[in-house]
Structure 1
Amino acid sequence: MLKRLLIFAAPLLIVAGGAHAADDKKPKEVGQYVDLQPVAMPIVVDGRLVNYVFVYVRVNLKAGADVIKIRDKEPMFRDALVRDGHRTPFVLATDWQKVDEAKLIAAMTRDASAITGPGVVASVSVTSQTPQKRVMPPRPSPPDKP
């Protein structure tokens, strides 16, 4: 009985496998965003390099933007981010293993709008942060003595 079932099921499995292969050939939808390659942001405290944090940034585009044309500008986005990060590092005073996302997003939004032109960038988000090394958090400052 099992043998008969397998004989009858074999053609159905072949047909189902072919249908699945046809699904793989459909073009994938292109999202309205540009993902930047990871960028190493320096963590500088008191003029001393303490750490690097590798950030993954996504520039979300408005509907109707020419995604292919703007994705070609990805190296320009990274260059702008590196320049901003070295000019005024996005350092959190409480954690040397993360960057200040609010400052980074504000700077990258400004730069991305300048690179693409007005009305193209919807938002910027930091998708991931990975520190180069684990470092101790900063010590709290001692209380003032009267």
Structure 2
Amino acid sequence: MLRRPLILAAAALLAATSAAASGAPEKPSKEVGQYVDVSPVGLPIVVNGQLVNYVFVYVRINLTSGANPSKWREREPYFRDALVRAGHRTPFTLADDYQHIDAARLSATLSRDAAAITGPGVVKSVVVSSQAPRWRARSPRQQAAAKR
């Protein structure tokens, strides 16, 4: 009575094993893109020498088509370190918004620093994927309106 299900299971296992061993190339489940995602970094928002807020940024460094992404993903800590150093050296604070950073200035600065890490012809662009403020800090307009 148990022979028939056992024989069917063995036949199915044999067929699956022979298909896997036939050398048919397997498609990767996820294509690896030409980029390096930098771990989220909290950058300070400093106004008049006072820390007002932190904004957590998610940054993607896009690589050229000839670059080796796995090699540069191993160097992600170097990119993150360059971002932290640049953000504390001269904060990317916007004059009218304490909830966001100056993404254009951050991209330009990190592009320059990333090119110094990788060498020429590897970094295509730097994109700020998202920004998340730590606190709801009042903008200068809101502060002025509250004083009236």
Coarse TM-score class (shorter-chain normalised): 0.7 to 0.9
Stretches of structure 2 that go unaligned for 5 or more consecutive residues are 1-15, 21-25
The answer to whether the aligner puts 1:139 opposite 2:141 as a matched pair is yes
Q: How far 1:139 moved relative to its partner?
A: 3.2
Letter in 2 for 1:26: K
From 60, 77, 80, the equivalent of 1:78 is 80
Superposed CA deviations along residues 103-136 of structure 1, whole A, max 9, x for unmatched, are 1001000011011110000000000000001111
Q: How far 1:141 moved relative to its partner?
A: 9.9
Mapping of residues 1-146 of structure 1, within 5 Å: 26-27=27-28, 28-139=30-141
- Give the Cα–Cα distance (whole angstroms) in 2 for the partners of residues 53 and 30 of structure 1: 28
Letter in 2 for 1:136: R
Stretches of structure 1 that go unaligned for 5 or more consecutive residues are 1-17
- Give the Cα–Cα distance (whole angstroms) in 2 for the partners of residues 66 and 53 of structure 1: 30
Match of 1:3 in 2: none
Q: TM-score, normalised by structure 2?
A: 0.77
Letter in 1 for 2:42: A
- Give the Cα–Cα distance (whole angstroms) in 2 for the partners of residues 46 and 59 of structure 1: 31
- Give the Cα–Cα distance (whole angstroms) in 1 for the partners of residues 77 and 59 of structure 2: 12
- Give the Cα–Cα distance (whole angstroms) in 2 for the partners of residues 26 and 45 of structure 1: 52
Letter in 2 for 1:70: W
Structure 1 moving runs of 4+ over 3 Å: 139-142
Cα root mean square deviation, aligned: 1.9
- Give the Cα–Cα distance (whole angstroms) in 2 for the partners of residues 130 and 141 of structure 1: 21
Match of 1:80, SS state, is: helix
Letter in 1 for 2:111: T
Q: TM-score, normalised by structure 1?
A: 0.78
Q: How far 1:72 moved relative to its partner?
A: 0.5
Q: How far 1:26 moved relative to its partner?
A: 3.0
- Give the Cα–Cα distance (whole angstroms) in 2 for the partners of residues 132 and 67 of structure 1: 31
- Give the Cα–Cα distance (whole angstroms) in 2 for the partners of residues 26 and 139 of structure 1: 54
Superposed CA deviations along residues 65-114 of structure 1, whole A, max 9, x for unmatched, are 01110100100000000000000000000100000011100100001101
Distance 1:141 1:51, change over 3 A: closer
Match of 1:139, SS state, is: helix
Match of 2:115, SS state, is: helix
